[in-house]
Amino acid sequence: MAGFAHDEIEAAFRTYWRTGAVAEDWEAWCDLFTEDCLYVEHSYGTMLGREAVRRWIVPLMERYGEIYTVYEWHVIDAERGRAVVYMRNRRDDPGGEGAFDFPGVTILDYAGGGRWKRAEDFYSATERDAAMRAYAERCRLYDPGHPGKRTRANWGNGPAWTRGGPSWAERPRLDRGRQ
């Protein structure tokens, strides 16, 4: 037994989601991990410690700022102190015909106090690469500057707390006093 209540893990997960996927405040998102966390990212490697995660995620999300994360579902396993989330990694089509997605799953192990001690990301590299190629081709055809616009046209049908604004510039800001 992990010793954490379902509601505590649920609240920590919602903060995790709103801080990263919705507010896209990657510095604050890193602070939601323990100092000695373990983060396994199968394409980028295994990182030990919050500062290693920060050195990876902050520049990565700046480089790929046109990608946003669409919530599909999550589940809390209080017995194991775990949250599992299924999402879509999305880029809007520069030609206005939908989006280019690839699915992902993240497994989070809770440490208490609103922090996570372990995370592991899974996604299909094949689907990611196909989505990246298709997006690049549509940018070439319709709008080479589209990545810099950081549009967020379709946040999906998740609850209101899972959705951000229509662009990166219009994303909700965090109330750092309520983390």
* Residue pLDDT, tens place only, 105-118: 999 999 999 999 99
Q: Please write the tens of the pLDDT for every residue from 115-162.
A: 999 999 999 999 999 999 999 999 999 999 999 999 999 999 999 999
Q: Is residue 151 part of a domain?
A: yes
What domain range is 16 assigned to? Answer: 6-159
Is the distance from CB of 152 to CB of 165 less than 8 angstroms?
yes
- Total number of domains constituting the chain: 1
Q: Is residue 175 part of a domain?
A: no
Structure tokens at 175: 């109330």
Measure CA 86 to chain center.
10
Q: Is residue 170 part of a domain?
A: no
Structure tokens at 74: 């999550």
Is the distance from CB of 125 to CB of 140 less than 8 angstroms?
no
Taking residues 6-10, report their average pLDDT: 98
The CATH number of whichever domain residue 36 belongs to comes to: 3.10.450.50
Q: Please write the tens of the pLDDT for every residue from 35-67.
A: 999 999 999 999 999 999 999 999 999 999 999
pLDDT of the residue at 2? 64
Is the distance from CB of 117 to CB of 38 less than 8 angstroms?
yes
